[in-house]
Amino acid sequence: MTEARLSGVIAAIATAVEDDGEPDCARSTAFAKFLLDHGCDALNVLGTTGEATSFSTEQRRKLMTAYRQAGLPMERLMVGTGAAAVRDAVELTRHAAELGFAAALVLPPFYYKGIADDGLVAYLEAIVAATRHRPIPIYLYHFPALSGIPWHVGLLGRIVSTFGSRIAGLKDSSGELGFARAAAAVAPGFAVFPSNEAALLEARNGPFAGCISATVNLNADLRARLCERRCGRARGGGEDPQAVRRQAAGCRRQGADRAYSRRCGLGAGDAAADGILGRRPRRRGRGLRCGAGPAGGLNSPALTHCAALTISSAPRDACRPRAF
């Protein structure tokens, strides 16, 4: 069986989207390469930040295939395959296994609420059975604020005892580190990735395998440097961890300020952003508030755009990605 070895700083990567709502495979894979080259240990593609549930099954399959065809290191890619329909989740997870993704991230079937534990176990049983010949590691996706269905701690124990090592871990987007710690204690080797970047401080001797975060789209380099200092994976440097944390926080605030300032119009940094992402120039008045993606609001192209702004025009060198 394929062993799950994902750990460290993982970006919940944004998906670039064309004006007609189709995923832009070329820009999406280019952005993935950029993040992997600038500090990310791995990527979570087609998660919430990647707007997976806004795409059709066919569109998701197409984008999954594009990551493989782009020559990206599949052993460093986790892909979201959960769906409201069991058959769709089975199809997507099987496709992920065939393409060689390192892991599948599985939401519960999220439309009908109040699903009994037996129903959730049956859902996973269908996915596990369909991929038994290519046993891709499965991570459960816990995001009750959006899915409305939790993978609660008692159920996690039952799932691990039922399916063993096929259930490799959990991504926790609840924001509750207490839950994340309890989940990590369910079984030895059960890898938990909170979305809260404070988890990186506990990724060496603590209970967590790392962090899967959307804001790593903006500050992958700094988060990686912090993780290296805390996790003992030195690629060079010698920075003070607290200084790195302050720099990362500054970039994060700066990215948010830039996003806010551009909600109603585009500024001077947009030409540089368009150049980085290879995107067509946007007309004035179409800012982050109404991006081109299917979900609208602060959607994938908007977040990618915000990342490019931070990368291209941050005043401090510490906010710029760099290779080690």
Which domains does the chain carry?
8-240 (3.20.20.70), 242-316 (no CATH)
| Percentage above 70 pLDDT, the chain | 65
How many other C-beta atoms are found inside a 10 Å radius of the C-beta of residue 257?
A: 11
Indicate the pairing of strand 103-106 with strand 191-194: unpaired
Average pLDDT over residues 23-40: 94
What's the N-to-C CA distance of the chain in angstroms?
A: 33
Q: What is the pLDDT of residues 273-289, one digit of tens each?
A: 344 344 454 443 332 22
pTM over cut 0.85:
no
Asked whether residue 132 carries a pLDDT value surpassing 90, the answer given is yes
Instruction: Give the span between the Cα atoms of 30 and 276, in whole angstroms.
Output: 10
**Strand runs labelled E in the chain:** 8-12, 42-45, 77-80, 103-106, 138-142, 167-172, 191-194, 210-213
Q: Is 78:52 a contact under the CB 8 Å cutoff?
A: no
How many other C-beta atoms are found inside a 10 Å radius of the C-beta of residue 152?
A: 16
Rounded alpha-carbon distances, angstroms, from residue 26 to 18, 22, 58, 165, 273: 10, 12, 17, 35, 16
Q: What is the pLDDT of residues 135-145, one digit of tens each?
A: 999 999 999 99
pLDDT tier, 39 (very low <50, low <70, confident <90, very high otherwise):
confident
Asked whether residue 12 carries a pLDDT value surpassing 70, the answer given is yes
Rounded alpha-carbon distances, angstroms, from residue 71 to 24, 64, 65, 106, 198: 16, 12, 10, 24, 32
Sole residue written with tokens 């087609």:
46
